Amino acid sequence: MSDKSPKRVLIITYYWPPSAGSGVQRWLKFAKYLPEFGWEPVIFTPENPDFELKDDGLQKEIDINLEVIKFPIWEPYDIFRKLKKESIKDTSKVLEKSKKTLFDKLGIWIRANLIIPDPRVYWVKPSVEYLESFLHRNQIDAIITTGPPHSLHLIGKSLKEKTGIAWFADFRDPWSQWEFLDTLPMTGLAKKRHQRLEHDVLRAADAVATISPTFQKDLEKLAGRPIHLLTNGFDPADLPESFQQVSDDQHHLEILYTGVIDAIRNPIPFLNAFQEAFEHDSRKVRLRFVGKVSENVDTYINSNIWLKEHVILEGYVNHSIVFSFYEKAHLLLLILTDTKNAQGNIPGKLFEYMATGRKIIALGDPKGDSAQIIQKAHAGNVFKHEDHAGIITFLENFKVDYSTDQTKNLKTYSRKSLTQQLAQILDAIQHPLS
């Protein structure tokens, strides 16, 4: 093969269109731009994955020439649903229930202690068998696995051992230190199993990357080796050409939150401050949530007459439609997790928020990675979740202003720039220094 021949990389990902979310966009965008840097991607993904949120619009971004291999997967969720005799689409809601049945508790215990590292682990063996044959028949110069689900890294490890092909492991979230695991009734033995599998992956991969400086440092301590930082980002091509700033009428204020509201992203402190700041204000104010909102928050809003009138729950919409909401917004709300992984929490939408030029008000760790990015770009303010007075003062004194310079120096976070960094990592592991 000549140096000018395109190199091919096999990307193994559970989440792929029509699945929605930042994890999907991360690798959809990498696949979009990799050919510009000498790498031709091949996608390996489940034929019948189990997920609730779909965005059919993302499928339009898949290049018609991109090879996508869809391979059947078996997951234990169907058994759970049949035994429970309920039409539960989103099994994560079982964890959020305040009153769990004995069957719920049993199912959660089994998930925590017997299905390790996650329910997609049953895809590992058949995928390895299929891909080992595929790799013998096709030229592949590198393999990428992205988790969660972290079981996909076990596919990469096995293929590395069987074929010797360079392998890159992408951690979008921590593994053994992931806050999600703390919500499960896990035994010490199960925790050690996670740690052992994680250690094996971190030591065996030719290169490892994660999305934030904090996660990077944590993984370096566990791995005893350098870990690459490869953040999420934004694609300038997503911004409509006609994207306009809304009126700076100070008598009207539209606040927008986009994305998921769940058990670890709690908007109630902001809702309380929002009401206190504007309940007796003459301005016309609206707080709009675009995306999936937990039942607990939905109930909280609808039980309060003032909030019910001033908070709008739009529900989930396709990513392309989100930009029409950005156009109408004056202020963007970012709710970060308030958990042990909070410092390293950098939502993918942060970069998209910044690209719109709107100011950001964020609830999270003022010293966390997201806060550092926001403060460096002068893109907004970050408050602790419990800083009720600070949030109220900010809202009461907020003036619509588009003179922010946050859109400057954003090139580092463009999807194309990030893909160039990924390609450089792949080049290095394919041709390691002697």
Tens-digit pLDDT string for the chain (434 aa): 345 678 999 999 999 999 988 889 999 999 999 999 999 999 999 998 887 778 888 998 999 999 999 999 988 876 766 665 555 555 555 555 556 778 778 888 888 889 899 999 999 999 999 999 999 999 999 999 999 999 999 999 999 999 999 999 999 999 998 888 888 888 999 999 999 999 999 999 999 999 999 999 999 999 999 999 999 999 988 888 766 666 555 568 999 999 988 877 899 999 999 999 999 887 789 999 999 898 889 999 999 999 999 999 999 898 889 988 998 899 999 999 888 888 898 998 999 999 988 899 999 999 999 999 999 888 999 999 999 999 999 999 988 765 555 566 688 899 999 999 999 999 999 866 54
Q: Which two tokens stand for residue 22?
A: 């930042």
Q: What is the pLDDT of residue 419?
A: 98
Cβ–Cβ < 8 Å for 22, 52: no
Name the nearest CA neighbour of 347 among 357, 332, 358, 331. Answer: 332
Q: Which two tokens stand for residue 245?
A: 């700033």
37, 149: one domain: yes
User: What's the predicted TM-score (pTM) here?
Assistant: 0.89
258, 377: one domain: yes
131, 24: one domain: yes
221, 267: one domain: no
Q: What is the pLDDT of residue 91?
A: 52
Domain of residue 24 covers 7-76+115-233+414-430
Q: Which two tokens stand for residue 149?
A: 């689900």
30, 71: one domain: yes
173, 280: one domain: no
Domain count, the chain: 2
Cβ–Cβ < 8 Å for 293, 261: yes
Q: Is there a domain that residue 319 lies in?
A: yes
Q: What is the pLDDT of residue 13?
A: 97
For residue 17, what is the domain's CATH number? 3.40.50.2000
